[in-house]
Amino acid sequence: MLNKLSGWSDTIVAIATAPGTGAIATIRLSGNDSFAIIDKLFPSKKISEQLSHTIHFGLLKLDGVAIDEVVIAVFKGPKSYTGEDTIEIGCHGSIFIQQKILNACTQKGARLAKPGEFTQRAFLHGKMDLTQAEAVADLIAANTEASQKNALNNIRGGFSDELKLMRDELIQFAALIELELDFATEDVEFADRTKFYDLLNRITKTTDYLVRSFQLGNVIKNGVTVAIIGKPNAGKSTLLNTLLNENRAIVSDIAGTTRDTIEEVLNIRGILFRLIDTAGIRSHSSDVIENIGIEKSFEKMKTADIVLYIFDINEETPGSLQKQKQIFDEAGIQYLLAANKADISTAGNIFSDDNIFHISAKNKSNIENLTDALYEKTVRDTLSEDNTIITNARHYDALVKVRSSLSDIMSGLDTNVSGDLLSLDIRSCLYYLGEITGEVTNEDKLDFIFSKFCIGK
Ligand SMILES: Nc1nc2c(ncn2[C@@H]2O[C@H](COP(=O)(O)OP(=O)(O)OP(=O)(O)O)[C@@H](O)[C@H]2O)c(=O)[nH]1
Ligand SMILES: [Mg+2]
């Protein structure tokens, strides 16, 4: 596969630290000429003659003119991130200096790196498989405890190791079944069918689990959308402010205060919850703007992962609440019910249902139970550190195809189809498994995947 992929033998350079001014910045070179290029820019010591994993302090100069005092770190391939000879230049963090050093490197023969090209090279040199490379991008983008843990687990091969093992076992069976084809006239069975069924069942179980985990993975990566819905004056905006612990939305006793939706992010136990405060829903309003707001509330209600339905305990009747629940149930909407203004409740315990949270948004009482329930309902207890979780749509698509080719193999076995048909299905299963880890790939696909990375990584 590697020799089919071109254009990766030249030396690339990029600023690896965030764009802008900082105390220090890192510029990274990778490729065959990294040491030759740095030798032209760092006259005080021959870097090409230094040991790997050493650092060197001195002046970086372009054609005799000093640019900056720098620290050079040396990594000799294959013991580097990319697997190639790599230099990391630590310089002062002025944008001007960073740019000058970058230009000096290109003048001496390096080419500007494309996004993700360092990681792409690491993959091409076998330093990591594709799922690990993708986890690098996920780790850089991680913004919560859960997404960071999951990406780190995947970088360390957590999920691809499992797939590779299954693929290897399947390859062995494929070989035996194909061997049987050579002896077709003799009616021999090299591949033990009971063991084969056993393996297929194991792969199916794991694939099913991984496919299911995608939903949860999506939650970890993209968060949970929560629409706060209710009648005017129920206390939706007050609840939003209380959850966020800041006065984000305008609160007033005038019904119809919130017109447009307001979105804010809340972190509950490492998961991002996108809270959406909406316009109160009522059936008759002559206000055009309010009606547009109400339309939007319905839209948000339909697209949210969960609806937080809040009502004024003194205004709501059990009958109308029942109707509301029916609407949610019929539309397949997940919801939580919050009876608000419990601090001035005159309603006694007519809403004594266990599934209703009695809160006071204004006095911030019983709010923690509500956030706990939000977490439980959406993230559930499936989320644990050791569980492998799929967050990548590309992996998900391939796994769904793995799953369908597994069904084909199984039904082929059940109906005793000929070995050549069976081996076609096994090959397609192997293909999709290999596509996930990058054992089967092509240049366009790789370019697409790595183009989503940052430059310098
Ligand atoms: N006593 C009491 N009053 C509350 C509570 N929560 C909200 N309120 C009051 O109820 C009124 C309406 O609150 P909002 O948060 O603006 O209600 P809303 O649901 O956002 O209303 P709209 O935006 O008009 O749909 C305000 O006067 C709040 O102070 C509560 O828990 N207890
Ligand atoms: Mg409001």
Write the pLDDT tens digit of every residue in 126-179. 888 888 888 888 888 887 777 788 788 777 777 788 888 888 899 888 888 888
pLDDT score for 383: 53
Q: CB of 447 within 8 A of CB of 8?
A: no
137 by Cβ neighbours in 10 Å (0-12 / 13-18 / 19+) ranks as buried
Lowest-confidence segment of 63-67, 152-156, 326-330, 416-420 by average pLDDT: 152-156
* CB 366 less than 6 A from any atom of ligand 1: no
Rg (CA), the chain: 30
Domains and CATH numbers, the chain: 2-128 (3.30.1360.120), 140-219+392-438 (1.20.120.430), 223-378 (3.40.50.300)
Cα 350 to ligand 2 centre (Å): 25
Compute CA distances 241 → 204, 245, 373, whole Å. 46, 6, 18
Residue 5: pLDDT over 50? no
Q: How far apart are alpha carbons 227 and 221 in whole angstroms?
A: 19
- Ligand sitting nearest the alpha carbon of 236: 1
Q: CB of 237 within 8 A of CB of 251?
A: yes
Residue 63: pLDDT over 90? yes
Q: CB of 10 within 8 A of CB of 83?
A: no
Cα 246 to ligand 2 centre (Å): 14
Tokens 């550190």 — which residue?
385
Joined tokens for residue 75: 């990594």
Closest atom of ligand 1 to 253 CA is 27
Question: What single-letter amino acid sits at 420?
Answer: D
What phi and psi values does residue 189 have, to the nearest 5 degrees? -125, 105
Q: CB of 153 within 8 A of CB of 385?
A: yes
Nearest CA to ligand 1 atom 11: 253
pLDDT in tens, 189-213: 777 888 889 999 999 998 888 888 7
Residue 348: pLDDT over 80? no
Q: How far apart are alpha carbons 302 and 324 in whole angstroms?
A: 14
Residue 453: pLDDT over 80? no
The pick from 233, 297, 301 for probing ligand 1's pocket by mutation, whose C-beta has the most ligand atoms within 8 angstroms, reads 233
Strand partners, 338: 310, 357
Q: How far apart are alpha carbons 237 and 248 in whole angstroms?
A: 8
* CB 233 less than 6 A from any atom of ligand 1: yes
Strand partners, 272: 267
pLDDT in tens, 240-274: 999 999 999 999 999 889 989 999 999 888 788 99
Question: What single-letter amino acid sits at 231?
Answer: K
Q: How far apart are alpha carbons 317 and 372 in whole angstroms?
A: 26
pLDDT in tens, 24-57: 999 999 999 999 999 999 999 999 999 999 999 9
Cα 237 to ligand 2 centre (Å): 4
Tokens 């136990």 — which residue?
269
Q: What is the 3-state secondary structure (H, E, C) of the chain?
A: CHHHCCCCCCCEEEECCCCCCCCEEEEEEECCCHHHHHHHHCCCCCHHHCCCCEEEEEEEEECCEEEEEEEEEEECCCCCCCCCCEEEEEEECCHHHHHHHHHHHHHCCCEECCCCHHHHHHHHCCCCCHHHHHHHHHHHHCCCHHHHHHHHHHHCCHHHHHHHHHHHHHHHHHHHHHHHHHCHHHCCCCCCHHHHHHHHHHHHHHHHHHHHHHHHHHHHHHCEEEEEECCCCCCHHHHHHHHHCCCCCCCCCCCCCCCCCEEEEEEECCEEEEEEECCCCCCCCCCHHHHHHHHHHHHHHHHCCEEEEEEECCCCCHHHHHHHHHHHHHHCCCEEEEEECHHHCCCCCCCCCCCEEECECCCCECHHHHHHHHHHHHCCCCCCCCCCCCCCHHHHHHHHHHHHHHHHHHHHHHCCCCHHHHHHHHHHHHHHHHHHHCCCCCHHHHHHHHCCCCCCC
**Mean pLDDT value across residues 289-293:** 83
pLDDT in tens, 216-246: 777 777 889 999 999 999 999 999 999 999 9
Cα 439 to ligand 2 centre (Å): 53
Q: CB of 203 within 8 A of CB of 409?
A: no
2 — pLDDT class (breaks 50, 70, 90) = very low
What phi and psi values does residue 282 have, to the nearest 5 degrees? -140, 155
* CB 346 less than 6 A from any atom of ligand 1: no
Cα 341 to ligand 1 centre (Å): 8
Q: How many alpha carbons lie under 13 Å from residue 431 in its C-beta half-sphere?
A: 10
Nearest CA to ligand 1 atom 9: 235
Output 83 or 186, whichever has higher pLDDT.
Answer: 83
pLDDT score for 274: 94
Q: How far apart are alpha carbons 174 and 422 in whole angstroms?
A: 9
- Ligand sitting nearest the alpha carbon of 367: 1
Write down the mean pLDDT value for the chain. Answer: 87
Residues 6+ apart with CB under 8 A from 225: 273, 274, 276, 303, 304, 305, 306
* CB 294 less than 6 A from any atom of ligand 1: no
Residue 15: pLDDT over 80? yes
**Mean pLDDT value across residues 320-348:** 89
